[in-house]
Amino acid sequence: MKTALCAAAVLVAILPSMAWSQNTTNFARIGRVDRFDSSLDGLIAKDAVIEVLCGGFDWAEGPVWVPEKGNKFGGYVLFSDIPPNSVIKWQEGIGSSVFLKPSGYTGAADYGREPGSNGLALDAQGRLVSCEHGDRRISVLTAGGGKVTLADRWDGKRFNSPNDLAIRDNGDIFFTDPIYGLPRREKDPMREIDFCGVYRLQKDGTVTLQSKEISRPNGIAFSPDHKTLYVANSDGRDPVWRAFPVKEDGSLGSPRAFFDSSKQANISRGGGDGLKVDAKGNVFATGPGGVLVISPEGKLLGRIVTGERIANVGWGNNGSVLYLTSDMYLCRIKTLTRGAGFK
């Protein structure tokens, strides 16, 4: 197991279910911000730094901010550590601890390299909604601590491995379903759906396929007005982020190419993972080299670079802090903007 970095130059081993005391805000700093357009200065200050909050994880994913009354910092962060089948909680002044285990697979047999939960979100009731690899479902954690399956199949067939999700303002859950959580991925004998889809889960439990044309759909997020849904493709052969219009009936229309990394001079060609949108419509999308900051018009403004692979991002605190799950680390950077949905 990797060592854990939970405050500046302090290395300790992460033990299951243990929270580490954190009496300092002097966090280690890594990386840089690449500025490709001057308008980035209005989103990320020139002196902004990337802080490492904790580490030692196998593959961190899906950060989500959980508001908490009475917490002087306003809440805490939950994120998935996929290989050890866990959700981790990080709280300012306290540190990291195991919040939920198992998080994505409850079976008895071994389930490959990535059994745990992936993307996380909060519904309108503040409940944790998870994309689960091993149990191949979308679940919700109830107030009593038990999980309820919201969906685990389409057209009578089990999903591949739900990856990431976005909840629309009417409660519909849109999610992606590539093959990364299956033990043998596209060749897995348990696979029942022969494509990677984008799905819509309505509040009455109805699941409808919205797209099967993206080879490896991954990160997913709505525009601030919830009239556009952005979906990343993690396939480097087709490194295009697509924008789907949301029709009056709540289904998706035909997508347009929003951003293509192969046509950019400042970055290498490569697909994307998780993404989020700010209140101004800018897209913060993990991609080649870090978090790409893309204007609503699809122009690359800059890139947040930790030096490690970044799987996903999530807004927190008052909406101006961007949390990054970067390989073994949970990091953050303070911005001059706010995430969509924050007031």
CATH number, domain with residue 145? 2.120.10.30
User: What is the average pLDDT across 22-31?
Assistant: 80
d(CA 43, CA 300): 13
Q: What is the pLDDT of residue 32?
A: 98
Token pair recorded at residue 219: 């990160």
| Percent over 90 (pLDDT), the chain | 90
Tell me the per-residue pLDDT of 96-147, one tens digit each, with 9 for 90 and over: 999 999 999 999 999 999 999 999 999 999 999 999 999 999 999 998 889 9
Q: What is the pLDDT of residue 343?
A: 80
Q: What is the pLDDT of residue 124?
A: 95
Q: Residue 16: pLDDT above 70?
A: no
First vs last C-alpha separation in the chain: 40
| Residue 8 resides in a domain | yes
| Residue 340 resides in a domain | no
- Residue 194 or 19, more confident: 194
Query: Regarding beta strands 60-67 and 300-305, do their DSSP bridges make them parallel or antiparallel, or are they unpaired?
Result: unpaired
Tell me the per-residue pLDDT of 238-251, one tens digit each, with 9 for 90 and over: 999 999 999 999 99
Q: What is the pLDDT of residue 24?
A: 61
Q: Residue 209: pLDDT above 50?
A: yes
SS (H, E, C) the chain: CCCEEEECCEEECCCCCCCCCCCCCCCEEECEEEECCHHHHHCCCCCCCEEEEECCCCCEEEEEEEECCCCCCCEEEEEEECCCCEEEEEECCCEEEEEECCCCCCCCCCCCCCCCEEEEEECCCCCEEEEECCCCEEEEECCCCCEEEEECEECCEECCCCCCEEECCCCCEEEEECCCCCCCHHHCCCCCCCCCEEEEECCCCCEEEEECCCCCEEEEEECCCCCEEEEEECCCCCCEEEEEEECCCCCECCCEEEEEHHHCCCCCCCCCCCEEEECCCCEEEEECCEEEEECCCCCEEEEEECCCCCCEEEEECCCCEEEEEECCEEEEEECCCCECCCC
CB 138 within 8 A of CB 201: yes
Q: What is the pLDDT of residue 291?
A: 98
CB 195 within 8 A of CB 177: no
* Average pLDDT value over all residues in the chain: 93
| Residue 113 resides in a domain | yes
| Residue 341 resides in a domain | no
Token pair recorded at residue 260: 């293509």
Q: Residue 26: pLDDT above 90?
A: no
Count of the separate structural domains present in the chain: 1
Query: What is the edge-to-edge ordering of all strands in the sheet holding 60-67?
Result: 60-67, 75-81, 86-91, 95-100
pTM: 0.93
User: What is the average pLDDT across 270-295?
Assistant: 98
Q: What is the pLDDT of residue 326?
A: 97
Q: What is the pLDDT of residue 72?
A: 87
| Residue 63 resides in a domain | yes
Q: What is the pLDDT of residue 36?
A: 98
| Residue 206 resides in a domain | yes
Q: Residue 338: pLDDT above 90?
A: yes
Q: Residue 21: pLDDT above 90?
A: no
d(CA 68, CA 45): 28
User: What is the average pLDDT across 243-264?
Assistant: 98
- Residue 208 or 145, more confident: 208
Tell me the per-residue pLDDT of 283-323, one tens digit each, with 9 for 90 and over: 999 999 999 999 999 999 999 999 999 999 999 999 999 99
| Residue 61 resides in a domain | yes
Q: What is the pLDDT of residue 23?
A: 55
Q: Residue 327: pLDDT above 60?
A: yes
Q: CA-based diameter of the chain, in Å?
A: 54
Single-letter amino acid, residue 254 = S
| Percent over 70 (pLDDT), the chain | 93
CB 209 within 8 A of CB 154: yes
Q: Residue 332: pLDDT above 60?
A: yes
| Residue 343 resides in a domain | no
Domain extent at residue 294: 4-334
CB 284 within 8 A of CB 276: yes
Tell me the per-residue pLDDT of 174-207, one tens digit each, with 9 for 90 and over: 999 999 999 999 999 999 999 999 999 999 999 9
